[in-house]
Every structure is written in C-alpha cells, then in structure tokens.
C-alpha cells in the first residue's frame, strides 16, 4: 500500500531520532544544573516534534516532556516589544546585529548605544523593559496571553520553582541590568524588569507545543490550529530575521551557513525552528555543546535541513 506524505515524514523523523539519539552518539553529559528538576537525570531525554502550517503534527520520543523556555522566550518578548512600540522605537533601544558573543556577555554596540540584539541577555532585558504594562505582573500576564496563543495551550504558566531558582542565581543579569541603567539603556525598577524577563524564561512547554509555536511563526504569526494571530505578520518578519542571524548564541554564523533556517536555542536544551510558509520544528534534548546549544538538537536540525532541502539557499 502506498504511504501518505504524513507517514513518509513520520518515518524520516523516527529514523533521525533513532540514529541521533543512540547511546554513545552525540554526547549528552553537559547539562545546565541551576534549575530544578535535577538536569543530570534528564540528560537522556530526546523529544522531536513538527507542526505544519495547516496543523498536521508529528512527534517522536519525549515530545511531551515539559521544560522551561529559557532563552527561547526572548523571541516572544521581542515580538511583543515590537507590537507595543513599533519597529523604529524598538530599534533605537536594541539593535539587530549578531554579536558573535555568548548569551550572557557584557558587551554593547557603543556606537548606537544599545545592546547588539534581542537574542542575548542584554537585549532581552531591554525588550522586557519595552513590554507595556503598569506592573510586572501585568507585563508577565500579557506575555503569557501571547504564549498561549502561539502554543494553542491556554494553560501555559510560569513554573514558580524554576523562577525562584533563577531569581537567586542571577548575579550576572543583575549586574548587566545595573550597568545598562547607568548607561541609560534600561529604565525603571531593575528587580521588576528581571522578574519579567525571568518569568518568561520560566514558562514551561513541551517539544510538541514548541513546534506549534514555531509553526505560528512560520505561518506569519497566526496559530495553525486556531488561526488566531499571536503577532502581526510585519513583526513576524522582523523576529525571524533576528533569529536567523542571532538565534544560536556564538554559533549563529555556523548555523546560518550549515542549517540555514531561523532558529532559537535555550540552555534547557531546546530549539525552536520555524521554516517560513512550511513547518515548525521543536526539539528538546538537554545535553549541550560547547556553545550552549542542544547537541542532539543541532544534529537533528542539520539532518532535517539536508534531507528536506530546508536551507534558505538550498538548490531548488
């Protein structure tokens, strides 16, 4: 009997998951241990999911395991900052230049007097600063409302344990914030702003939900199941542009060269990868490479890009 396209894709994903996840394959021993539950016990997890812009889904492995968004939240915070303030206003406060530096680096675009881009902590802290709301709680609620539309899960929430853990192991973000305020790059109450940024980092999702969030971005900002817009199309373009240049920490250039799709990674070992007008991919595997990107996540995205010709400049 002839296989449907859906079955062919499922078979490919199963095979990639098996090859890349095999014991002794990609090292999975480098996990970041500063938030519960103990990450070392989660090192073996490997979930892969995809959602296309019509709402067809595929999943393999631990695709329904929850983990904190961490740096992936920067994508959505930046989107809301754009929606609240407009492109010009946001550009004055945070640039769109790849920094080539690690996510927590203390470096700025001295010429334009702003963080290099919104995908590193300095820029994400400014993006959180730009989100409208009369209190930190209101800002977080507005972010959560958007995240629920992206994912289609009305129950998405901040994991309070993860947030508490981050709030007490946060010296670098605290110093970065005070430094930026002294330079006039950040305004208002520092603690409140850190709370907003870290609450967004502490929202938990599954790889399956992450793939729906990616599919929403791939569909120009509208959720593929509900059609509800999470972000206007014009700002979706901006967010995707920044992701392709700056989404993979200091390996962003190599990623654009090898894989050629917009993506954002996080220290929790997740990767969000929207392929415009086609499909959204979500991967979760906590073992990180030396850049802080998920080892298996990078490998599986690279293989998917090769197999399905997803690189933006792939041969037609």
Note the residues at the interface with ligand GLN (CB under 6 A): 70-71, 103-104, 121, 166, 173, 201, 266-267
37 preceded by a cis bond (ω within 30 of 0): yes
Q: Is 178 annotated as a binding residue?
A: no
Nearest CB to ligand GLN, comparing residues 77 and 223? 77
DSSP labels, 152-192: S-TT--B-HHHHHHHHHS-HHHHHHHHHHHHTTSS-S-HHH
Q: Which is nearer to ligand GLN, 16 or 288 (CB)?
A: 288
> Counting Cβ atoms within 10 Å, is residue 290 exposed (0-12), middle (13-18) or buried (19+)?
exposed
Minimum CB separation of residue 200 from ligand GLN in Å reads: 9
Dihedral (C-alpha) 71, 83, 207, 263: value to the nearest 10 degrees?
-60
The least CB distance from residue 166 to ligand GLN, in Å, is: 6
Is 193 part of any known ligand binding site? no
CB of 68 to ligand GLN, least distance (A): 8
Q: Do β-strands 204-205 and 270-275 pair in parallel, antiparallel, or remain unpaired?
A: unpaired
The three-state secondary structure class of 253 is helix
Q: Is 267 annotated as a binding residue?
A: yes
> Do 250 and 100 contact (CB within 8 A), yes or no?
yes
Q: Could you tell me the smallest distance in angstroms from the CB atom of residue 104 to ligand GLN?
A: 6
Sheet of 47-52: strands edge to edge? Answer: 57-61, 47-52, 279-284, 270-275, 264-265
| Residue placing its CB nearer to ligand GLN in the complex, 124 or 222 | 124
Output the smallest distance, CB 287 to ligand GLN, in A. 14
Give dist(CA 94, CA 311) in Å, integer. Answer: 27
In angstroms, what is the minimal distance from the CB of 284 to ligand GLN?
13
Min dist CB 316 to ligand GLN, Å, is 35
Closest CB to ligand GLN among residues 251, 310? 251
Strand segments (E) across 173-263: 204-205
How large is the angle between the packed helices 73-85 and 190-201, nearest 10 degrees? 130
Beta bridge partners of 49: 59, 282
Q: Is there a contact between 167 and 194 (Cβ–Cβ < 8 Å)? A: yes
Question: Is 175 annotated to bind ligand?
Answer: no
Q: Please identify, using beta-carbon distances, which residue of 103 and 284 lies nearer to ligand GLN.
A: 103
> Nearest distance from residue 262's CB to ligand GLN, in Å?
17
Q: Please, which residue, 12 or 104, has the CB nearer to ligand GLN? A: 104
Give whichever of 80 and 203 is closer to ligand GLN, judged by the CB atom: 203
Closest CB to ligand GLN among 58 and 249? Answer: 249
The count of C-alpha atoms lying within 13 angstroms of the C-alpha of 251, restricted to the half-sphere facing its C-beta, is 17
CB 142 within 8 A of CB 230: no
Closest residue to ligand GLN, judged by C-beta, is 71
**Residues that constitute the known binding site for substrate:** 71, 121, 173, 197, 249, 267
**Residues that constitute the known binding site:** 71, 121, 173, 197, 249, 267
């Amino acid at each position: 009997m002839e296989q449907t396209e859906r079955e062919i894709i499922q078979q490919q994903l199963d095979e990639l998951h098996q090859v890349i996840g095999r014991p002794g394959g990609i090292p999975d021993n480098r996990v970041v241990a500063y938030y519960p539950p103990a990450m070392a016990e989660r090192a073996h997890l490997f979930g892969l999911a995809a959602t296309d812009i019509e709402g067809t889904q595929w999943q393999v492995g631990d695709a329904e395991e929850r983990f904190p968004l961490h740096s992936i939240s920067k994508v959505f915070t930046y989107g809301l900052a754009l929606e609240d303030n407009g492109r010009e206003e946001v550009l004055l406060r945070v640039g769109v230049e790849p920094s080539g530096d690690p996510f927590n680096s203390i470096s700025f675009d001295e010429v334009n007097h702003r963080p290099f881009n919104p995908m590193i902590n300095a820029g994400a802290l400014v993006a959180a600063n730009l989100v409208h709301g009369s209190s930190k709680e209101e800002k977080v609620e507005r972010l959560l409302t958007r995240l629920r539309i992206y994912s289609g899960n009305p129950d998405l929430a901040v994991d309070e344990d993860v947030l508490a853990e981050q709030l007490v192991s946060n010296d670098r973000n605290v110093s970065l914030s005070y430094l930026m305020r002294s330079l006039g790059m950040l305004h208002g109450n520092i603690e409140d702003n850190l709370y907003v940024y870290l609450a967004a980092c502490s929202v938990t999702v599954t790889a399956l939900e992450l793939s729906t969030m990616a599919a929403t971005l791939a569909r120009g900002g509208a959720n593929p199941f509900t059609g509800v817009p999470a972000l206007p199309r014009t700002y979706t373009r901006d967010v995707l542009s920044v992701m392709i240049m700056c989404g993979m920490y200091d390996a962003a250039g190599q990623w654009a060269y090898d894989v050629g799709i917009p993506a954002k990674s996080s220290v929790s070992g997740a990767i969000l990868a929207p392929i415009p007008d086609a499909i959204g991919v979500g991967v979760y595997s906590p073992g990180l490479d030396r850049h802080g990107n998920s080892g298996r996540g990078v490998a599986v995205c690279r293989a998917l890009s090769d197999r399905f010709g997803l690189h933006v400049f792939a041969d037609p």
